[in-house]
Structure 1
Amino acid sequence: MALHEQNIRLTFGLKLRQLRQEKGLSLQTLSQQTGISVSYLNEIEKGKKYPKADKIAALADALEVSYDWLVSLQLHPKLAPLAELLQSNLLQELPLDVLGIDKAKLIELLADAPAKLSAFVSTVVEISRNYDMQVEQFFFSVLRSYQEMHDNYFEDLEEAAADFRKRYLQNATTNSHTLAKVLSEQSGIRVIYEDFQDKSLHALRSVFIPKKRLLIINSRLSEAQRRFVLARELGFAYLALSPRPYTFSWVTVSAFEEVLNNFKASYFAGALLLPASDLLPQIEHLFALPAWQPDAWLELLGRYVVTPETLLHRFTNLLPHFLGLQELFFLRFSMDTASQKVLLTKEMHLGQLHNPHATALHEHYCRRWVSLQVLRSMQNQPHEGYLCDAQISEYIDSPNRYWVLTMARSLYPTPATLSSVSIGILVNDQARQKIHFLENAQLQRRAVGETCERCSAFDCKERVAPPLVLTQKQNNQARLQALQALIQRYEQS
């Protein structure tokens, strides 16, 4: 991998600083010995400048090292983790601007305290290894933070979708044939359908071949899935997003820009298929009903010809921004019907919510969640299409209550996998004003936990694992209290 120019400058600066300090030389002294100004030396050490050959030669003589060694990328062994970070080009891949971090200031910080930061980097790398965290997982985590920072509402993408609809589409329920035609006419992208024969490709929705301007869509997809794939591709083209992934779903992740651009194209697709001006009145009407009516919510899927995930994810765009329902979460689970294994495959929290936080390695999610109940219902009963359910989830050992809406379906084009998507809205005064049926007795209420390993409901019939994490936490707390009592007894004697 070619090392980025900025990282070459930083590596040289770190090495120069390290050697100067080992020799006990101040910047002023080194300046006098080399004829290089103090300000220029300072900029070199901070990775802002890279000296010309004559200045490198002068520095090598003053520091009593060879020219070749000074320009090499080798750092002191104590700085090995930092050297590994620089040589990996990870600093260029990290989406620091998205997180509001000035890359220049971070580089200056690296130059000011390299040994301490090297130890920190080493610790972070070790943690990521222990949790088997890959770079792409980090990218997706950053994307979630980016969405949460903006309440998952992006005005520029909303306007772009509205502008596209006004120019090329008049009917919000435009079918896949029409979308493919617009894609061909406006972007020169041809669409074909293929039944991916190779088993390893069954889960793919689509493949884009840029050299041929060809979009290959899995012929097993439903009409709702096809429409989203095409609307997403229209987003890539209309917004001129690059770099971008060429498969849907993900196969490889090369850079954060791909992840961010994929999100933008997907957001565009949701806004295109579910215009806020049309969907918001429908949501407000359903919220105003005196009782929970699952069939009425399922009718939205038919009205807009979208998948449950597209619909509920669109809710996360609109509810905080337009209805003031800012404290909400979104969860997506998948269940393999053969192994019965349940995986959390997407999670997002808005409004600084930390409960429920469903990410838990090798733990068992609470089976009282409506998200999991609806998966079991779909498996145990022959259902075609979708299932919809809701409940008031009262979290054990927490004052928080949520109205949770869940929709489930078979995860085509892999029908042996079931999927549920859920949106949970914190029950507070704002929610009670907007959602009239929250106190209706018809709506089921359940005391729920997060995972069995962390739950204090010892008499729970649905429990599938002992509360090991909770017990350990309680034991540690008891030990701390006993220690404080022991110390206090002797201090007072």
Structure 2
Amino acid sequence: MAAGKLYIGRRVRELRISNDATQVQFAERLGISVSYLNQIESNQRPVSAAVLLALADKFKIDLSDLSGGENDRLLSALAEALTDPLFSAYGANLQELKLVAQNAPGIAHALIAAHQAYRHNSERLASIDDTLGRVTAAVEQTPYEEVRDYFHFMDNYIHEIDMMAEKLAAEIGIGEQDSYTVLSSHLENAFKVHISRTADNEDLIRSFDEARRVLTLSPYLTQPTRDFQIALQIAQLAAGPGIDRLLAAANFRTGQATEICRIGLHNYFAGALILPYRRFKQAAREVRHDLDLLSVKFGASLEQVCHRLSTLQRPGDKGIPIFFARIDRAGNITKRHSAAKLQFARFGAACPLWNAHRAFEAPGQIIRQLAETPDGAQYLCVATQITKGGHGFQAPRQHYALALGCEISYADHFVYADNMEIRNRAAFDPIGISCRICERTDCAARAVPPYKSQLVIEHHKRGRLPYRIG
């Protein structure tokens, strides 16, 4: 897979300013001319391999921090917004989008937010429901969407919380005994909280009585869920000040968004406590990201393992960049994150050709796929189905597909690539991001026509689709 040219002018300029260097001083340390540095900072020229190596050598930075990451996510979200027919008269090529994402990220975020507000307003008007006329509710992001975007553009890695959880894990001995013993002992010794497993209300997974200092857990919880809920209680009691600082800095528009994010940060702490960053990252490398082995080694669920793999983005100590999603039977993506080039669509369902959908047909099995997106990028994709709930014959159960993967250049780090024809391009299935923004013209699985495309209707001919995409 060919590497694209790297335009990182804003990041180079920020690095120079953070080191209190003039362009003359900075260029001298890199061994390049001032005019070349000026062209790099203004994104008139890409950085060369020699300059990248000089940046790593002279300023001790991780090269992976200079490429991909937030720019890829922002570029993907911006490109998807501009596929809307609203912008049909304003075509922008990929290079123009990159310049905006890299040099004016604030403008890009503002445009994405404006487009999202426009979509909400249009959907409300189209439904003609009883909320028509309440403009504020119609045009703003929902609190849930605002929090989703917060984690998305934070790279799904919250450094302060992750470091705090890892430090506590080392102090209390996570990994030295079974997690339940360690976590329950710490909860009792540090916070005087007793655990009860006799629930009065079977619909509650957990309940904390602050006055009595009792954490009540459902007696029907699986071991990974039980341990996670104890870790979550520790997060609520131990991580408050740090989480308060993060929430203040996030500056959410509503109190509801703030509290939703607080839940997310508590959950993040709990996951990072049970699966400490460096131990988990090292173990993932050793077992080549075998999900079952990681689950057994850490006493965690498959979902907890997959989610944690998606957060291994610590500056200077990153894991393999993967994408991760949780999908319900209707095709809704209920969790999503991508540290890889592949970015999930913000609107609409996932591509029907993606192997995630086949996981529901084979519960308990690992489904593998080699896939290629329209831009030529190739991926190793892994999916499996899980069931949640179901404590008793009449209890409702939720079925999800967990999907994760990596760019094919990292496939050797995954046990799931074994015996697959990763060097054979014919072995790769063509997939897209979602039908509404996919540019493939000959896909029989297409659900809706792509935006910004002319449809050719021929009443006397019929191919795979009732129209041709012009």
TM range (shorter): 0.5 to 0.7
Q: 420, 430, 448: which one pairs with 2:401?
A: 420
The 8 Å contact of residues 117 and 139 in structure 2, kept in 1 or not, is answered as no
The structure with more helix, counted as a fraction of residues = 1
Change (3 A) 1:374 1:299: same
Q: CA deviation at 1:323?
A: 6.3
Q: CA deviation at 1:165?
A: 2.2
5 Å-filtered alignment, 1:32-47, equals: none
| CA distance, structure 2, for counterparts of residue 423 and residue 165 of structure 1 | 26
Amino acid in structure 1 at the alignment position of 2:299:
V
| CA distance, structure 2, for counterparts of residue 445 and residue 120 of structure 1 | 34
| CA distance, structure 2, for counterparts of residue 121 and residue 410 of structure 1 | 32
Structure 2 SS opposite 1:233: helix
Alignment-derived partner of residue 372 in structure 1? 357
Deviations 1:351-372 (A, max 9, x none): 6x5x4424444x5x43432222
Alignment-derived partner of residue 323 in structure 2? 329
* Structure 1 alignment gaps of length 5 or more: 1-99, 107-118, 244-252, 288-293, 336-340, 379-385, 479-493
| CA distance, structure 1, for counterparts of residue 319 and residue 138 of structure 2 | 33
| CA distance, structure 2, for counterparts of residue 348 and residue 284 of structure 1 | 20
| CA distance, structure 2, for counterparts of residue 320 and residue 170 of structure 1 | 20
Deviations 1:20-70 (A, max 9, x none): xxxxxxxxxxxxxxxxxxxxxxxxxxxxxxxxxxxxxxxxxxxxxxxxxxx
Structure 1 SS opposite 2:332: strand
| CA distance, structure 2, for counterparts of residue 314 and residue 388 of structure 1 | 18
Q: CA deviation at 1:170?
A: 4.7
Amino acid in structure 2 at the alignment position of 1:213:
R
Deviations 1:303-329 (A, max 9, x none): 111112211111122157466567543
| CA distance, structure 2, for counterparts of residue 459 and residue 323 of structure 1 | 40
Q: CA deviation at 1:121?
A: 12
The 8 Å contact of residues 220 and 412 in structure 1, kept in 2 or not, is answered as no
Change (3 A) 1:134 1:300: farther
Deviations 1:259-285 (A, max 9, x none): 222222222212211122322222223
Structure 1 SS opposite 2:282: helix
1:411 aligns with 2:388: yes
| CA distance, structure 2, for counterparts of residue 452 and residue 369 of structure 1 | 12
Alignment-derived partner of residue 448 in structure 1? 431
Q: CA deviation at 1:147?
A: 2.7
Amino acid in structure 2 at the alignment position of 1:372:
H
| CA distance, structure 2, for counterparts of residue 448 and residue 173 of structure 1 | 44
| CA distance, structure 2, for counterparts of residue 320 and residue 159 of structure 1 | 10
Amino acid in structure 2 at the alignment position of 1:448:
I
Q: CA deviation at 1:228?
A: 0.8
Q: CA deviation at 1:164?
A: 1.6
Structure 2 SS opposite 1:236: helix
Change (3 A) 1:238 1:322: same
Alignment-derived partner of residue 266 in structure 2? 265
Q: CA deviation at 1:184?
A: 2.6
Q: CA deviation at 1:422?
A: 2.1
The 8 Å contact of residues 151 and 321 in structure 1, kept in 2 or not, is answered as no
Q: 88, 107, 121: which one pairs with 1:126?
A: 121
Please provide the CA RMSD for this pair: 4.1
Alignment-derived partner of residue 307 in structure 1? 301
The 8 Å contact of residues 325 and 337 in structure 2, kept in 1 or not, is answered as yes
| CA distance, structure 2, for counterparts of residue 280 and residue 438 of structure 1 | 19
The 8 Å contact of residues 206 and 215 in structure 2, kept in 1 or not, is answered as yes
5 Å-filtered alignment, 1:325-474, equals: 328-335=322-329, 341-350=330-339, 353=341, 355-361=342-348, 365-378=350-363, 386-395=364-373, 397-413=374-390, 416-428=397-409, 431=410, 438=417, 440-441=419-420, 445-451=428-434, 456=440, 458=442, 460=444, 463=445, 467-470=447-450, 473-474=452-453
Amino acid in structure 1 at the alignment position of 2:224:
A
TM-score by length of 2: 0.56
| CA distance, structure 2, for counterparts of residue 404 and residue 120 of structure 1 | 31
Deviations 1:61-120 (A, max 9, x none): xxxxxxxxxxxxxxxxxxxxxxxxxxxxxxxxxxxxxxx99xxxx9xxxxxxxxxxxx99
Structure 2 SS opposite 1:469: coil
Deviations 1:329-361 (A, max 9, x none): 3211123xxxxx34321122336x5x4424444
Structure 1 SS opposite 2:155: coil
Structure 1 SS opposite 2:351: coil
Change (3 A) 1:323 1:398: farther
| CA distance, structure 2, for counterparts of residue 120 and residue 468 of structure 1 | 20
The 8 Å contact of residues 328 and 334 in structure 2, kept in 1 or not, is answered as yes
Q: CA deviation at 1:230?
A: 0.9
| CA distance, structure 1, for counterparts of residue 325 and residue 170 of structure 2 | 32
5 Å-filtered alignment, 1:50-129, equals: 126-127=121-122, 129=124
The 8 Å contact of residues 367 and 373 in structure 1, kept in 2 or not, is answered as no
| CA distance, structure 1, for counterparts of residue 140 and residue 193 of structure 2 | 28
Q: CA deviation at 1:436?
A: 8.6
| CA distance, structure 2, for counterparts of residue 368 and residue 123 of structure 1 | 30
Alignment-derived partner of residue 257 in structure 2? 256
Change (3 A) 1:436 1:232: closer
1:217 aligns with 2:196: no
Q: CA deviation at 1:157?
A: 1.8
5 Å-filtered alignment, 1:187-198, equals: 187-194=191-198
| CA distance, structure 2, for counterparts of residue 394 and residue 180 of structure 1 | 46
Comparing 269-278 with 397-406, which one deviates more in the overlay?
A: 397-406
Comparing 132-141 with 161-170, which one deviates more in the overlay?
A: 132-141
Alignment-derived partner of residue 145 in structure 2? 141
The 8 Å contact of residues 333 and 420 in structure 1, kept in 2 or not, is answered as yes
Q: CA deviation at 1:449?
A: 3.3
Amino acid in structure 1 at the alignment position of 2:269:
F
Larger radius of gyration: 1
Q: Percent same amino acid at aligned positions?
A: 17
Structure 2 SS opposite 1:171: coil
